Structure 1
Amino acid sequence: MITAPEFRPPRLIRHAQIQSILATKSPRRRRWLAAGSRMEAVAQHHMLDAGDGVRLTGYHSQQADRTPRGLAVLIHGWEGCHDSTYLYSMACALYGAGYDVFRLNLRDHGGTHHLNREVFHSARIGEVLGAIRAVQAFAAARPLFVIGFSLGGNFALRVGIHGPAAGVVPRLTIGICPSINPRATIAAIDDGPALFRWYFMNKWRKTVRAKAAAWPEYAAQADRYLQMNRLLDITARFAEEQTEYGAMEPYLAAYTLTHEQIVGAPSPLAIITAADDPVIPLQDFRGLSPGGSLRHLEVTAHGGHCGFIENLRLQSWAERRVLALLQRAV
């Protein structure tokens, strides 16, 4: 199912774990020091009214000396934020290519645990659509593009699927290593390499503690969650106690994306993923092919989870590919 054979990272950084680590760690930030400085110099922090009293935050960087080619809204993965290395690097690439960029923080991410009493969960697509509508209201740049990573890729694809009915119509939505089958992703973390399980669980535990510190009424529940070690067990209890779904199966179903939904979306979509991703199983995409609203499905042999580092200078093939896809859409 390899559809993008031109991505061939050198052997030294080819392993999936190395690719995944390079997606999240700081050495890549040095590559974008100049572009990042330009982007940060014009970045404005926004508190967004996402509807129903929900507040989300993000950073908007507008082109300072040229007409923007469009507005790109970027959505991080689970326990990431506007400043995550993979997202920041993509934002710099987009800004350097002439796009306005908005780096959105999901609820309870990016140090925003205090803003909303109810906890984050992955089915909260309505507030993400509300936040993007708010961004569109003050962002003059058109057209709109939405790019998400991992769980953020799931959110991004749902923006493309549900957005047009809510007044959010992307010219193109791109999911990078998107978690379209949450149960499979949870199982991959629980049963996969210990490094990834430790990484996600450690970040999640910090979030649980931060939420309890901001809202002490969650302290007792937080203590119970922190004693659990498997993400599937945590998700089952969390769905019962903290979501409107009352049980894990309907909760997971609320943000599982079927092939039919993807192909039949009312706006154009694209997916970039890696066959060796240790978090997003390749099996989730078998039987899916470009057609209908799915304009591009690109599967590389290597790349790990949101990595796609193509050389020892730590340049990203995914960034080059996203720029090419946006150019076609423009």
Structure 2
Amino acid sequence: MRTRWQQTGFVPPRGLANPHVQTLLPRLLPRPRLTRTQEDLELPDGDFVELNWILPAPASPQAPLFVLFHGLEGSFQSPYARWLLATASGMGWRSLLMHFRGCGNQPNRLPRAYHSGDTADAYWLISELSRRYPKALKVAAGVSLGGNMLLKLVAEQGGDGLDLAGAIIVSAPLDLAASAERLHQGFSRVYERHLLNALKRKVAPRLARGELPLSLESRELARIDSLRGYDDAVTAPLHGFRDAADYYHRASAGRLLGNVALPTLILHADDDPFMPAGLFERLPKPTDAVRLEIARHGGHVGFVERCGQRLRPWLAQRLAHELACWTGTGAAWQSAMDRHLSRSDN
């Protein structure tokens, strides 16, 4: 049976529909200026994650709360993060981003890091937010790796297991094995090399200092030329998986689509160069709690549209509409977008 889905409202500008153009364009757009405060949230195992809270924060502890989980080697500086956080904050939501372990300003303390299926830190954060703001409506969003992680967490916890009103999943590699294969093909290898280099830069010094329990030498790390090879040699053994295949199977959230009970919006582009076309035709049918919106074009976390003479991130518009549905602030999102378009930097 075919998976139920609907077309998104995204329309790429004429001449800018190419998936690689869409994927790379956000890096060239101005980004909103944001003021933030940082907090190290201590974790049960002795490590920590860095939280970035957007300022000014709402005065009321009952203000709605938006939490964002970034992608592989992403951060507060990622273009999508700045736009999504700016949009939510501009609409009066208390907004924050959780950096995965080692993705903030400081390296994490333990040998382990983070991976696509590691839901424990996000669960701990949401529990802490529930303790601090028990009466606030809360919505979480995850982008790319963060989207796979968030969907897996939502599926694992059921409808009442998290203090969340809903989840938003953007450009998530819900079949990790298929995504690793796709990234090793054609022009997508440019993205694979970029991600690999970022991962290697972070792990190489720790490996050289003998901090990691890996039977891997520095010269072997340097020779790894695929994400699958990296996951075989580093991600899997660091986090208790037999190998990359075991990691991909157990960490992929797509196989859990039939378990989702929390209202969840999934946004996906069928031309995403990080994933095979027709991704959702190979996955289980989602539950009725899932609204799946697929665009013909959009690339990977791209979705850049034209507004008058300007290019702008459609994802910010879509997030604003979604948040407005939760709080009834239908007029607030456009003024928030206009403010940030007029006050942005590079």
Per the normalisation by structure 2, the TM-score is 0.82
In the alignment, the residues of structure 2 paired with residue 66 and residue 217 of structure 1 have an alpha-carbon distance, to the nearest angstrom, of 43
Tell me the equivalent position of 1:268: 263
Indicate conservation of the 8 Å contact 2:257/2:286, yes or no: no
How far apart are 1:46 and its partner, in Å? 1.0
How far apart are 1:60 and its partner, in Å? 1.5
Indicate conservation of the 8 Å contact 2:260/2:286, yes or no: no
In the alignment, the residues of structure 1 paired with residue 114 and residue 17 of structure 2 have an alpha-carbon distance, to the nearest angstrom, of 34
Structure 1: 5+ residue stretches without partners? none
Tell me the equivalent position of 1:10: 13
In the alignment, the residues of structure 2 paired with residue 139 and residue 45 of structure 1 have an alpha-carbon distance, to the nearest angstrom, of 18
Q: Please tell me the root mean square deviation across aligned C-alpha atoms, in Å.
A: 2.7
Tell me the equivalent position of 2:248: 252
How far apart are 1:104 and its partner, in Å? 0.6
Tell me the equivalent position of 1:71: 65
Instruction: Please say if 1:321 is aligned against 2:323.
Output: no
In the alignment, the residues of structure 1 paired with residue 273 and residue 142 of structure 2 have an alpha-carbon distance, to the nearest angstrom, of 18
Percent identical residues: 21
In the alignment, the residues of structure 1 paired with residue 217 and residue 106 of structure 2 have an alpha-carbon distance, to the nearest angstrom, of 17
How far apart are 1:185 and its partner, in Å? 1.0
Tell me the equivalent position of 1:206: 201
Matched length: 317
Structure 1 counterpart SS, 2:325: helix
Structure 2: 5+ residue stretches without partners? 328-346
Tell me the equivalent position of 1:54: 47
How far apart are 1:274 and its partner, in Å? 0.5
Mark the CA change 1:62 to 1:263 in structure 2 (over 3 Å): closer, same or farther: farther
How far apart are 1:147 and its partner, in Å? 0.4
Instruction: Please say if 1:297 is aligned against 2:305.
Output: no
In the alignment, the residues of structure 1 paired with residue 171 and residue 86 of structure 2 have an alpha-carbon distance, to the nearest angstrom, of 19
Q: One-letter code of the match for 1:7?
A: F
How far apart are 1:62 and its partner, in Å? 5.6
Indicate conservation of the 8 Å contact 1:185/1:280, yes or no: yes
Tell me the equivalent position of 2:301: 306
Indicate conservation of the 8 Å contact 1:71/1:145, yes or no: yes
In the alignment, the residues of structure 1 paired with residue 70 and residue 137 of structure 2 have an alpha-carbon distance, to the nearest angstrom, of 21
2:280 paired residue among 278, 282, 285 = 285
Deviations 1:176-235 (A, max 9, x none): 00111000111111124132222222222222235447x543397361222211222222
In the alignment, the residues of structure 2 paired with residue 120 and residue 211 of structure 1 have an alpha-carbon distance, to the nearest angstrom, of 15
Q: One-letter code of the match for 1:82?
A: F
Q: One-letter code of the match for 1:18?
A: V
Per the normalisation by structure 1, the TM-score is 0.86
